Structure 1
Amino acid sequence: MDDYEKISVVGRGAHGVCWLCQRKDDIFRQKVIIKTVALEGLAQEEQNAIMGEVTLLKRLHHPHIIGYYESFKTENAFSIVMQYAEGGTMDKMISEQKGIKFAESIVLNYFTQVAIGLEYMHSKQILHRDLKTQNILLNKKRTIVKLSDFGISKELSTRSLASTIIGTPNYLSPEICEGN
């Protein structure tokens, strides 16, 4: 973290914190997000999952997927440096509407971008498995959608099957809820 200046906390999870930062030696002062996960007390399986997220992020280069810059390990934490989406989450944008519905054309535009991002992931044999409004980020003008949070994503091989029921309960598909 020595190369970055912390600006503010933008999110907290069970094992870590997401920081809004700027690289100290960047003349453009580009903002980034650094997801820092404390390693103390984490089982080896959880540490492997963090490394798996990095492996997937390194493979995904698409306009509708949050960009990966680098990752590094310190004595007690692992950090992932990613693109900053200034428009925040889709969840935040929806709550700001205070019950006012979006125009159909706007919804269709967002839906199409999400579908394009997912199609790209699927072409790489990667399942997101936690798609929800909190994991859909927006650019500053809120015109471009970026999928994020690949912590429970799964890479499929020709012999594997995504059979584990995983994700956020309110966002699971009916087929998953029914056990199909």
Structure 2
Amino acid sequence: MATKIRTKNPESRLIVEAMKPYQIDKIDKILEKLSLSNPIERTVSRNQILSSKPLIPMPLPTVQASSNSPQGHSVLEALLAKHTRRFRPPDPPRLQNRPKTVSSLKSKKDILIQSNDIQDKTDKLNDEILTEPIPHSVTISCKKDPIIVGKYEIGDEIGKGAYGTVKIGVNTANNEKVAIKIYEKAGLLNPTRKKNVEREIKILNKLNHPNIIRVINTIETSSAINIVLEYISGCSLSDYLKSRSSRRIEEYQAKGVFKQILLALEFCHNLGITHRDIKLENILLDHEHTVKIIDFGFATYIANDKKVQLFCGTSCYMAPEIVTNKESLGPPTDIWAAGVVLYVLITGTFPFKAPQTKELYSKIQRGMYVIPPTMSSQAREVIKGVFEIDPHKRPTATQLLAYQWMNNGMDKTSSLKSRNLAGISPLFNKTFC
């Protein structure tokens, strides 16, 4: 805080108080010179004066003073400049300049000439760059080296499962697109998982049907097992229904899709193969309205008359014998799941649903579902058949294909895509396999 001092001779008291910490002698002459000036009003910061430490070899703290008297100001500066020499640390010794020889001057000259030449070349190069035409847009991309597996170049990821990923691939020989299902060996350390992958490959190699995805090759590397499959451009039934405001399709369209599913299941069941995970997400519809069943990761290859105890699949598609965790036959579980798909296609909702899994399983065991009044009587017979609680009484795929609804209005001479699936437009912005 600034303090104002009003005395008869303010200069004397100011100088004495400022110089006292530094023990400066012979102040009489300074005071005598300061007394020649007229008494004036000065403002001094006492905090800076009192915070000064005397007798320490360090630079003198700055003393702020304001004065209207040029004479007093110059005397104070002269006094401070004179006495700060006693406390300032000595200057470091100065080394004499090394004499410059002719050789050193010559080398410096060469360096200077060389640097000038480099600068001239740089300037010339910059001028050439600036004179070149600048494109309207410049795109800089860092392209990674392609990953090659066998004769296939691996591309972007288009799907992902529980144990592996699906990526698009291109045959480098003929540019044919394929889908490659990749199982990393690091994720197959569990013997059960590895056995499941080997079983899936074995089953896919036995399947050759227009409504089942086709396997092309299997390539095993040091780090992964790669299953090369045909490329399907289109969408799953789940995504197709989500794209529609009603979340459903017409009954005659659902009939065409369901028939293709039954044809694929009939082929599998005759070979002793059960899919065990039939659902909307695992049924694709390509650009030619052809149904393709995919993902045989849970499939089993056992005799149709042999019962097994397996708890697998998706909850809302599970048959009663699965949710009760009993030994059961394989094919009837696929028929039940296919019936759920048919019900969703026609009504736009699931037949068995509940907020809790326990309640859902209870409804499935008792066969509690509602048939909407808009469904035709012939379609109701099919729904009642596939939702038979007793798996032994549940119709097979061959028997369902013989139902009246399946053949009523079906022109056997015309293709499914031209008549029975009219009005269905798959989504082509998604790719699955």
TM-score (norm 1): 0.90
Are residues 111 and 33 of structure 1, via their aligned partners in 2, closer, same or farther at CA, if it must alter by over 3 Å?
same
1:156 and 1:51 mapped to 2: Cα distance? 15
- Aligned residues, how many? 177
Partner of 1:55: 202
Which protein is bigger by CA-based radius of gyration?
A: 2
The change in CA–CA distance for 1:105 and 1:47 in structure 2 (over 3 A counts) is same
- Percent identity at matched positions? 29
- Matched residue, 1:163: 309
2:166 maps to: 18
Q: Which has the higher contact order (CA 8 A, sep 6+)?
A: 1
Change (3 A) 1:115 1:2: same
> Map of 1:83-162 to 2, 5 A cutoff?
83-141=230-288, 143-157=289-303, 160-162=306-308
For residue 182 of structure 2, what is the aligned residue in structure 1? Answer: 36
The answer as to whether partners of 2:283 and 2:291 remain within 8 angstroms in 1 is yes
Paired with 1:101 and 1:90, the residues of 2 have a C-alpha distance of 10
Shift of 1:93: 1.2
Q: Which residue of 1 aligns with 2:422?
A: none
Residues 3-56 of structure 1 show CA distances to partners (whole Å, capped at 9, x for unaligned) of: 212332111123221011111111xx2211100011114212211110110100
Work out which of the residue numbers 118, 126, 151 in structure 2 matches 1:3: 151
Alpha-carbon RMSD across the aligned residues, in angstroms, is 1.7
Greater strand content? 1
Q: Report the structure, 1 or 2, having the larger helix content.
A: 2
Compute the TM-score of the two structures, normalised by the length of structure 2: 0.39
Distance 1:3 1:98, change over 3 A: farther
C-alpha distance 72-125 of structure 1, shift in aligned 2 (>3 A)? same
Q: Is the 8 A contact 1:129 1:153 kept in 2?
A: yes
User: What is the CA–CA distance in structure 2 between the aligned matches of 1:56 and 1:22, rounded to whole Å?
Assistant: 24
CA contact (8 A) 2:215 2:229 kept: yes
Question: What is the alpha-carbon distance in structure 2 between the residues aligned to residue 94 and residue 49 of structure 1?
Answer: 31
Query: Runs of 5+ in structure 2 lacking a partner?
Result: 1-148, 327-433
